[in-house]
Copies of this chain bind each other. A is one copy, B any other.
Amino acid sequence: MLQVRDGKLQVLLWQRAREPFLGAWSLPGGYLEPGETLEQSIRHHLAEKVDVRELAHLEQLETLSDPARNPLDRELATAYLGLVPADVDPEVPEDTRRHSVSRLPELAFDHRAIVLAGRDRLRAKLSYTNIGFALAPPVFTLSELREIYVAALGHEVSATNLQRVLLRRGVLEATGEKREPGRAGGRPAALYRFRSRRLEITDQFAVLRPPG
Is A149 an interface position by the 8 A CB rule?
yes
Closest 5 CB pairs of A and B: A127-B205, A155-B210, A38-B65, A63-B63, A37-B65
Question: In this complex, what residue of B is CB-closest to A32?
Answer: B65
For the residues of A in contact with B, the DSSP-based class is: loop
Establish whether residues A208 and B36, one from each chain, have CB atoms under 8 Å apart when the complex forms: no
Query: Shortest distance in angstroms between A171's beta carbon and chain B's nearest beta carbon?
Result: 11
Taking residues whose C-beta sits less than 8 angstroms from the other chain, chain A's interface range is: 35 or more
Is A182 an interface position by the 8 A CB rule?
no
Is A60 an interface position by the 8 A CB rule?
yes
Within the oligomer, what is the number of copies of this chain? Answer: 2
Is A126 an interface position by the 8 A CB rule?
yes
Binary flags per residue of A155-172, CB closer than 8 Å to B gives 1, else 0: 111100110010000000
* Chain B residue contacts of A149, Cβ below 8 A: 208
Establish whether residues A207 and B60, one from each chain, have CB atoms under 8 Å apart when the complex forms: no
Question: In this complex, what residue of B is CB-closest to A155?
Answer: B210
CA distance A210 to B35 in the complex (A): 45
Q: A32-B65, A165-B208 are in contact. List 13 more A-B contacts (CB 8 A).
A: A35-B67, A37-B67, A38-B63, A38-B65, A127-B206, A128-B205, A155-B210, A155-B211, A156-B210, A157-B208, A162-B208, A203-B207, A206-B206
Establish whether residues A36 and B67, one from each chain, have CB atoms under 8 Å apart when the complex forms: yes
Query: Shortest distance in angstroms between A202's beta carbon and chain B's nearest beta carbon?
Result: 10
* Chain B residue contacts of A156, Cβ below 8 A: 210-211
Is A53 an interface position by the 8 A CB rule?
no
- 7 residue pairs bridging A and B, Cβ less than 8 Å apart: A35-B67, A36-B65, A38-B63, A127-B207, A128-B205, A155-B211, A165-B207
